[in-house]
Amino acid sequence: MKIEVNGRPLEVKDGLTILEALKEHGISIPTLCYLENMTPTGACRICVVEVEGMGSLIPACAFPAGEGMKIQTHSPRVRAARKTIVELLLANHPEDCLYCERNLNCQLQDLAHEMGVRHKRYRGERKEYKLDTSSPSLERDPSKCILCGKCVRVCEEVQGVGAIDFVNRGFKTHVEPAFNRGLNVSPCIYCGQCIMVCPTGALREKSSLKEVWEAINDKTKTVIFQMAPAISVSIGEEFGYEPGTELSGKLVSACKRMGVDMVFDTSVAADLTVIEEANELLYRIQNAGKLPMITSCSPGWVKYVEHFHPEFIDNLSSCRSPQEMLGSLLKTYYAEKEGKNPEDVFVVSVMPCTAKKFEVKRPEFYKGNVPDVDVVLTTREMARMIKISGLDFQAMPDQRYDDYFNLTSSAGKIFGSTGGVMEAALRTAYCTLTGKDLQTIEFEPVRGLNGVKEAVVDINGLKLSIVVASGLTNADIILKRIKENPERYQFIEIMACPGGCIAGGGQPKPQDKEIIAKRQQALYSIDKNAQLRLAHQNPVIKKIYDDYLGKPLGHKSHDLLHTHYRERDKF
């Protein structure tokens, strides 16, 4: 199909919108409400273009390209319309850019700069809303909302939760949970995917930096940071590195410079999770236990089951997530060996996930009044902490993780990607069942960023039907299949965030599929080049079992490394 754009003849595929046709040829126009691979709404009109013969300006995201179209992307009329839209949005927006955490990383701010907005032309009645801080993970500031609808659509169409929506009409339109209640009493799973698409500061994680600084400055506390597998390949984006650059050595060094006492890699607890989960799977298979067994590493996914599918709670693995396993060991095994009071051991998890902030508040993960993990920081918060400290991150020397938990397998590292938990567990399940290690340990069918991946794995004659899903609408597809045929699968991995932890709600912004793919590839490169690739071969894990835990699924392991879940109200 032939069209003309800004006087330039182009050939484009049939069936594309004007915006898609322009993107194919590297022609950029601004957007605000647009979400790739989702049905366009054309709500914000920032992407309007002028098409010869049509009286009105056309939203490029929602209008199909047609044969012979003559399109102007930046005509005087188009520029004036876009500028007016931005000015009207700013007229009802709080003027607190200096204090907003999205300052210098705000789509609305960028658009105002791009459109040449230099003074305020429109003034009128202002909408004022209360800040919703009820959630342990997220904060919602409706006064900064520009009604682009991205959060609503991601929550409903990608995650299948529908915790927020538009209410009222006209000037009174705003976004909120049902009955104008707080997020804490909604079915929100705290995945943070709404934060990732919000163009302003209307949605953000609840910051825990104050608590962390207070602990570091308290000399009676032993402050321990644990770093999730996905952190080291994503945090560099906050400091000018290419996505996927592995920077664990610099992270450890930066933490030490900030006054942190010990730094560990959560991947070591992922190795523990692999062993416990593989043994649990085989125990269920051999003892007519509840199948299919479904992974429980993703707290957003677990909360989703508790709200929407409590009939599957017994299918969830009883294994704690890796951050909770390590937190539990730090407050017991480590504290006992070092002669420390668990109350004086302050554990900080650095996670790509906002739902982890909720997870550490669950009563199941307290011993008396002492939480196994005290505080969770997102990747963004960790980067902010480094910047506040005035550290030149790129100049940081590489430093190894501290002893006790300083050796991890790459099986634990790939937990950060969708399919990684499944692959790591299968490597160990094979050895547990056969007594031998696999010759080829890569499970290609569960790799990649597809929302659903399934395969049949032969473990010494035992055929396991497995499936991996990321993103909760994809999870719903799997659950419907199980209801239709309960024996279809034996082992299922589900991650709440599309792509897994590498695309978590606490990761650097912006992120797109290309960035997520680079993070994923980085984890698989670490795995490919590692000398230790099997969790059950990790000598640190063997020592923990020999010295303290006893055996997988044993009494002490069950007490410290496993948990239970409960049904929650939908509203």
360-402 pLDDT, tens digit per residue, is 999 999 999 999 999 999 999 999 999 999 999 999 999 999 9
Token digits of residue 513: 């599929």
Q: 67 an active-site residue?
A: no
Report pLDDT for 462.
85
Q: Looking at 94-173, which runs of residues are DSSP E strands?
A: 138-140, 165-167
Q: How far apart are CA 446 and CA 72, in angstroms?
A: 45
Q: 176 an active-site residue?
A: no
Residues in contact with 157: Cβ distance below 8 Å, sequence separation at least 6, in sequence order: 38, 473
Can you list the domains of the chain with their CATH numbers? 1-123 (3.10.20.740), 138-206 (3.30.70.20), 210-561 (3.40.50.1780)
Backbone angles phi, psi at 22, to 5 degrees: -65, -45
Q: 324 an active-site residue?
A: no
- Among the listed residues 139, 280, 306, 324, the single catalytic one is 280
Report pLDDT for 461.
83
Q: Which residue has the tokens 């082992």?
A: 491
Q: 336 an active-site residue?
A: no
Please, are residues 379 and 507 in contact by the beta-carbon 8 Å criterion? yes
**What is the number of other CB atoms lying within 10 angstroms of the CB of residue 396?**
20
- Among the listed residues 155, 194, 297, 353, the single catalytic one is 297
Look at the alpha carbons of 321, 322, 324, 325 in this order and tell me if their dihedral is positive or negative. positive
- Among the listed residues 150, 206, 331, 356, the single catalytic one is 356
Q: 297 an active-site residue?
A: yes
Please, are residues 232 and 140 in contact by the beta-carbon 8 Å criterion? no
Helix/strand/coil for 437: coil
Report pLDDT for 571.
65
Token digits of residue 397: 């020397």
Q: Which conformational region is residue 407 in: left (phi greater than 0), alpha (psi within -120 to 50 degrees), or beta? A: beta
Task: For residue 6, count CB atoms less than 10 angstroms from its CB and return exposed for 0-12, middle for 13-18, buried for 19 or more.
Answer: middle
Question: E strand or H helix at 413, and its extent?
Answer: helix 410-413
Q: pTM of the entire structure?
A: 0.95
Beta-bridge mates of residue 345: 222
Q: How far apart are CA 61 and CA 17, in angstroms?
A: 6
Q: How far apart are CA 188 and CA 139, in angstroms?
A: 12
- Among the listed residues 208, 501, 509, 557, the single catalytic one is 501
Q: How far apart are CA 258 and CA 255, in angstroms?
A: 5
Please, are residues 466 and 454 in contact by the beta-carbon 8 Å criterion? yes
Q: How far apart are CA 47 and CA 469, in angstroms?
A: 33
**Strands of 491-495's sheet in order across:** 293-294, 491-495, 462-470, 452-459
Q: Which residue has the tokens 């410079």?
A: 257
- Among the listed residues 52, 214, 364, 567, the single catalytic one is 364
Buried b / exposed e over 111-126, threshold 16 CB at 10 Å, is bbeebebeeeeeeeee
Q: 317 an active-site residue?
A: yes
Please, are residues 392 and 405 in contact by the beta-carbon 8 Å criterion? no
Q: Looking at 460-539, which runs of residues are DSSP E strands?
A: 462-470, 491-495
Q: Supply the DSSP symbol for 274.
A: H
Q: Which conformational region is residue 404 in: left (phi greater than 0), alpha (psi within -120 to 50 degrees), or beta? A: left
Report pLDDT for 383.
98
Residues in contact with 499: Cβ distance below 8 Å, sequence separation at least 6, in sequence order: 417, 418, 449, 470, 471, 516, 520
- Among the listed residues 317, 349, 470, 557, the single catalytic one is 317
Report pLDDT for 34.
95
Report pLDDT for 442.
87
Token digits of residue 387: 């910047």
Q: 431 an active-site residue?
A: no
Token digits of residue 348: 């900080």
Please, are residues 1 and 12 in contact by the beta-carbon 8 Å criterion? yes
- Give every residue of the chain whose pLDDT is below 50, as ranges: none
- Among the listed residues 139, 205, 276, 277, the single catalytic one is 277
Q: Looking at 390-504, which runs of residues are DSSP E strands?
A: 452-459, 462-470, 491-495
Q: 56 an active-site residue?
A: no
